[in-house]
Amino acid sequence: MIKLVALVKRKAGMPTEQFRDYWIGTHAPLARQIPGMRGYRINIAGDPGNMPAAPYDGSAEIWFDDPAAMTAGLSSPENDVAGADTANFADSVTFLVCDETVVIDQCGSERAA
């Protein structure tokens, strides 16, 4: 499994709630049509509290079976449509291709790293 992480900076002047609503309600249905995707999560940045504010307003995590499936999905017409839509809610997107290591899963079970 390979994961693509997209770090997203919202469009200048767009309120956070509008950014969230557009990404989840309009963009996500387009993005989920990309062939070969095994998972897709959207994370909207919250109040950082005492930590410095991040330069991004959200991130997406997208899983594919392997690099070939990712390349095929990202080369598809469906990705072209989703990619063109990104300009409607984001000023910039930075991508990271990741090899994920789970240390503690979502259920709280520890795994050897």
d(CA 69, CA 29) in angstroms, rounded, equals: 20
Element of type H or E holding 47: none
Contact 18, 100 (CB under 8 A): no
Using pLDDT thresholds of 50, 70 and 90, give the confidence band for residue 100. Answer: confident
User: In terms of Cα–Cα distance, which of 78, 87, 88, 83 is closest to 33?
Assistant: 78
Mean pLDDT of the chain: 94
d(CA 62, CA 3) in angstroms, rounded, equals: 6
Could you give the domains of the chain?
Answer: 2-98 (3.30.70.100)
Cα–Cα distances in angstroms (integers) from residue 99 to residues 4, 41, 67, in the given order: 9, 16, 11
Using pLDDT thresholds of 50, 70 and 90, give the confidence band for residue 83. Answer: very high
